[in-house]
Amino acid sequence: MGSGSGTEQKWVYSFGGGAAEGDAGLRNLLGGKGANLAEMAGLGLPVPPGFTITTEVCTAYYENGRKLPDDLNHQVIAALENVGQVVGAKFGDIENPLLVSVRSGARASMPGMMDTILNLGLNDETVAGLARRAGDERFAYDSYRRFIQMYSDVVLGVDHGVFEDILDGHKNFAGAMSDTELGADDWKEICDAYQEAVESELGSPFPQDITAQLWGAIGAVFGSWETARAKTYRRLHDIPDWWGTAVNVQAMVFGNLGETSATGVAFTRNPSTGAKEIYGEFLVNAQGEDVVAGIRTPQPLTEAARAEAGETAPSLEALMPDTFAELVAVFDRLEERYRDMQDIEFTIQDGKLWMLQTRSGKRTTNAALKIAVDMAAEEVITRDEAVMRVDPAGLDQLLHPTLAPGAVKQVMATGLPASPGAAIGQIVFSSDDAEQLRNQGKSVVLVRIETSPEDIHGMNAAAGILTTRGGMTSHAAVVARGMGRPCVSGAGSLRIDYAAETMTTGGETFRKGDVITIDGATGEVLKGAVEMHQPELSGDFGTLMGWADAARRLGVRTNADTPRDAEQARQFGAEGIGLCRTEHMFFDEDRILAMREMICAEDEAGRRAALAQILPFQRQDFHDLFRIMAGLPVTIRLLDPPLHEFLPQGDEEIAAVAAALDISVNRLRERVSELHEFNPMLGFRGCRLAVSYPEIAEMQARAIFEAANLAAKETGAPVMPEIMVPLVAYRREFDVVANVIRQTAVAVEAESGTALTFEIGTMVELPRAALRAEEIAAGDEGAAFFSFGTNDLTQTCLGLSRDDAAPILNSYLAQQIFEVDPFVSLDRDGVGELVRIGFERGRTAKPGLKVGICGEHGGDPASVTFCHDVGLDYVSCSPYRVPVARLAAAQAAIAAKLGDGDTKD
């Protein structure tokens, strides 16, 4: 780093006394807290004077082997003297000691960092001066003991239990029930006992040198940047190590100087509902920490809130009307300045208001929606800004029932939060039972070790799904998210005994029919029925989504296989179906037998006979979807999974199926074994099925075309199906299957006398397809559209099976090889480059090529942003993710318009 000796680098920024060297724009340099303190000071708001040591010092500290810059010392001393002058006190002065707080402050709020040390500047001598000056010995020694405890804990690493034991012992001895019953002498004794305990713990006395205290505290803040907790938090929130933290040193003000003093926290609007009302609480004669400690019950700020809560203790509005009015004025000033709801800390010392912190307040998604819409109505922010204010990921919580806040919970196990929402139901261990009980009007939770495609009907029938194996992207998780069913996956501590129909954990056994609750938002599995909260899609939701739709360029479609999904998705604003997986349709009980007959057929004639049985079902499926989507585009993917997924596995099941198919058990077993694959993901599936058995594609194409004719007649709206050939790697594969489809179209046209309009495209889900995109899209007979299947593209690009990834993911996230699960958020560097290559090459061959994405990533906000940036036409995601994608798409468009105001880089 090193500034030359001539112009020294500025490491320290002062604020207070009606002026400041920095402002809110210097967030990267001063951290969030420091920048906001400077901003408030600059606005002339009452901020205790202080200074900020910049984030550059933190960076220099680590680059220099944990050594602070040499020229920092005198800058800090000078700033400290300045603070003393403003408040009329002096650091270390025995008669009139200046006390300061030391706080960390990174760019983004960061739990896991050292937070706060208060009352620094006290020692055995200055405490006496403070007592004299304040005329309150009890206050002085109470402050001192707080400082000793806090400093010893945070800076010196002494376990805080040591101090609690001493305090409890003293109270016992003094016969006191609470701290307030203790007097000055008690606190003096406790201070002594604290110091003795520190010395006995550490082998050296508690530091009486206040300058050493100050540097100790500053060092502790910088040191806490690299604690495991802080690092983990940064990794989870994508915060780079080099950002560093700032340190804020600020003159103490005291809310505990008697009945005209107080301390409190407030939001400028209600962070839970978003209502425009002051929201917060305060305590008379207390320090900030007391408000959150929960020993005394804080009082509401406003009369309205007091009345509503039925509180008897007076509100601040009633108790100190002038100060309250001043506070309200400050709130207005801050909202006007920051153009957002603020989260504020304040202290009143002897009737004088001091602002200690302001920042944009965290809020529920509901509140975020209301605040954004209100502020746009107030013309404080634009509609685009309103759209940017709501976290798309949070929308999920709006759309599902959730556990009621504060509900009583008995957690029996915890798994992964695989699909959001909560569900209550009776336990069942098989999909058939799930269906049966649902048909009896009961709500069930389907409990399986893991699910397979044969469980689709059970998952559909269940209110929620619980598995003991599998990750966030296991079959259960993916299907559940797609269906909008709450799901907890991989709850490994549960032991399932299918034969006994029991589930055991911690020595307790649950039987089929017992009621449990699962919380897909937290992964918790709970005993009994826990109170639920039903979603309300408020008018603000609709308003904001409307603004989002106006702002976005990306289309948003849905992945939907059933009428139910399709209807749900349209309610959520889907603009078409981007992926209809036709195989899910084959697992229904009335079809799977025909499917199995097809698979076991000895020849094409046998296959055709079986397919003829399936045709009417498929036609009906498509007919329903076309009717529901009423002219919106519908992309239908031809049969994709390996055939063995449709065959039975266990001996009993094989026997039953063989009997139903009227073939020998041996023949069926042989077929199962023939179709067995080592790596089914890389096996006989996708268009490979249609290349070998063109009659399957022919039946599906016929079902699509006939359904399109029916739906068009019924609705009067023309249907333009997009038929998608899966797993293409070679242009010739595409041609072979496309020819079958085109020939079928000619046949259906001849039979019906109606001209068909349709497009044939491909799912780009193999690296080769992306690389050869130009060839695959070339010419009139080339692919008319691409849909990136980023699930499979991730599997092949990374060489990582989604179904087997769980143990690898854990280790890779822990070792920071993955910043985020690549099946949840698109790997931009690898998979993303293939998407980019495929997109660019496809468009080179065919400038009008329609390009979308239909992997699970289509509902992940970061991935949606990526899709916008690349230039895709649309994303497609599961129904419950449609609003998320709409909002994320809008934010991507607005961010791009603003030149990407991403503060992270």
Smallest gap from Cβ 905 to a second copy, in A, equals 18
Task: Decide if 854 is catalytic.
Answer: yes
Q: Is 691 in the site for a second copy (CB under 8 A)?
A: yes
Smallest gap from Cβ 396 to a second copy, in A, equals 28
Residue of 293, 273, 307 lying closest to 317 (CA atoms): 307
Distance (Å, whole) CA 494 – CA 469:
10
Find the angle CA(293)-CA(294)-CA(300) to the nearest 5 degrees. 110
CA quadruple 775, 778, 783, 784: dihedral sign: positive
Helix or strand run (H / E) with residue 556: strand 555-559
Residues in the chain: 905
In the bound state with a second copy, the residue whose beta carbon lies nearer, of 350 and 497, is 497
In the bound state with a second copy, the residue whose beta carbon lies nearer, of 218 and 601, is 601
Smallest gap from Cβ 606 to a second copy, in A, equals 18
Smallest gap from Cβ 761 to a second copy, in A, equals 18
Strands 100-106, 116-120: pairing kind: antiparallel
Smallest gap from Cβ 239 to a second copy, in A, equals 17
Q: Is 682 in the site for a second copy (CB under 8 A)?
A: yes
Smallest gap from Cβ 244 to a second copy, in A, equals 22
In the bound state with a second copy, the residue whose beta carbon lies nearer, of 234 and 400, is 234
CA 140 to chain centre: 45
| Of 688, 846, 850, 857, the one binding a second copy by CB under 8 A | 688
- What 3-state class would DSSP assign to 81? helix
Q: What are phi and psi of 448, to 5 degrees?
A: -135, 155
Among residues 797, 854, 867, 877, the one annotated as catalytic is 854
**b/e string for 420-452 if b means 16 or more Cβ within 10 A?**
bbbbbbbbbbbbebbbebbeeebbbbbbbeebe
In the bound state with a second copy, the residue whose beta carbon lies nearer, of 78 and 817, is 817
| Of 276, 768, 828, 843, the one binding a second copy by CB under 8 A | 768
CB distance 288 to 170 below 8 Å? no
| CB atoms closer than 10 angstroms to residue 551 | 21
Smallest gap from Cβ 735 to a second copy, in A, equals 9
In the bound state with a second copy, the residue whose beta carbon lies nearer, of 77 and 813, is 813
| Of 133, 339, 683, 778, the one binding a second copy by CB under 8 A | 683
In the bound state with a second copy, the residue whose beta carbon lies nearer, of 228 and 408, is 228
Binding mask 640-679 for a second copy (x = CB under 8 A): -------------------------------------xxx
Distance (Å, whole) CA 271 – CA 280:
10
In the bound state with a second copy, the residue whose beta carbon lies nearer, of 335 and 775, is 775
In the bound state with a second copy, the residue whose beta carbon lies nearer, of 747 and 771, is 771
Find the angle CA(122)-CA(126)-CA(130) to the nearest 5 degrees. 95
For residue 817, give both structure tokens.
């090889």
Window 806 to 835, contacts with a second copy (CB under 8 A): 807-808, 811-812, 815-818, 827, 829-831, 833-834
Question: What is the amino acid identity at position 613?
Answer: Q
Reduced 3-state DSSP string for 781-826: CCCCEEEECHHHHHHHHHCCCHHHCHHHHHHHHHCCCCCCCCCCCC
For residue 275, give both structure tokens.
């209502």
| Of 345, 564, 684, 759, the one binding a second copy by CB under 8 A | 684
Residue of 165, 169, 323 lying closest to 259 (CA atoms): 323
| Of 174, 532, 665, 681, the one binding a second copy by CB under 8 A | 681
Task: Return the C-alpha torsion angle 404, 405, 407, 411, nearest 10.
Answer: 100
Smallest gap from Cβ 590 to a second copy, in A, equals 28
Smallest gap from Cβ 678 to a second copy, in A, equals 4
In the bound state with a second copy, the residue whose beta carbon lies nearer, of 407 and 800, is 800
In the bound state with a second copy, the residue whose beta carbon lies nearer, of 418 and 805, is 805
Task: Decide if 687 is catalytic.
Answer: no
Strand segments, DSSP code E, in 162-313 are 245-251, 262-267, 279-284, 299-300
Range 352-356 contact pairs with CB under 8 angstroms and sequence separation of 24 or more: 352/46, 352/323, 353/46, 353/323, 353/326, 353/327, 354/46, 354/47, 354/48, 354/253, 355/40, 355/45, 355/46, 355/47, 355/330, 356/47, 356/48, 356/250, 356/253, 356/288
Smallest gap from Cβ 389 to a second copy, in A, equals 34
Among residues 400, 457, 475, 868, the one annotated as catalytic is 475
Binding mask 773-812 for a second copy (x = CB under 8 A): --x----------------x--xxxxxxx-xx--xx--xx
Q: Per-residue DSSP letters for 129-185?
A: HHHHHHT-HHHHHHHHHHHHHHHHHHTS---THHHHHHHHHHHHHHT-SSGGG--HH
Smallest gap from Cβ 15 to a second copy, in A, equals 41
In the bound state with a second copy, the residue whose beta carbon lies nearer, of 347 and 795, is 795
Smallest gap from Cβ 738 to a second copy, in A, equals 13
Q: Is 208 in the site for a second copy (CB under 8 A)?
A: no
- Could you tell me the CA-to-CA distances from 626 to 609, 697, 717 in Å, in that order? 26, 19, 10
Helix or strand run (H / E) with residue 444: strand 444-448
**Could you tell me how many residues of this chain bind a second copy (CB under 8 A)?**
49
Distance (Å, whole) CA 46 – CA 355:
6
Stretch of 37-45, 310-318, 648-656, 680-688 lying at the interface with a second copy (CB under 8 A): 680-688
Distance (Å, whole) CA 508 – CA 503:
8
Smallest gap from Cβ 662 to a second copy, in A, equals 25
| Of 717, 771, 845, 895, the one binding a second copy by CB under 8 A | 771
In the bound state with a second copy, the residue whose beta carbon lies nearer, of 509 and 692, is 692
Window 711 to 730, contacts with a second copy (CB under 8 A): 727, 729-730
Distance (Å, whole) CA 450 – CA 469:
6
CA atoms within 13 A on the CB side of 144: 33
Question: What is the amino acid identity at position 683?
Answer: G
CB distance 557 to 629 below 8 Å? no
Distance (Å, whole) CA 585 – CA 587:
6
Distance (Å, whole) CA 720 – CA 712:
9
In the bound state with a second copy, the residue whose beta carbon lies nearer, of 65 and 799, is 799
Window 833 to 862, contacts with a second copy (CB under 8 A): 833-834
Catalytic residues: 475, 854
Residues that bind a second copy (CB under 8 A): 677-684, 686, 688, 691-692, 727, 729-730, 732-733, 736, 765-768, 771-772, 775, 792, 795-801, 803-804, 807-808, 811-812, 815-818, 827, 829-831, 833-834
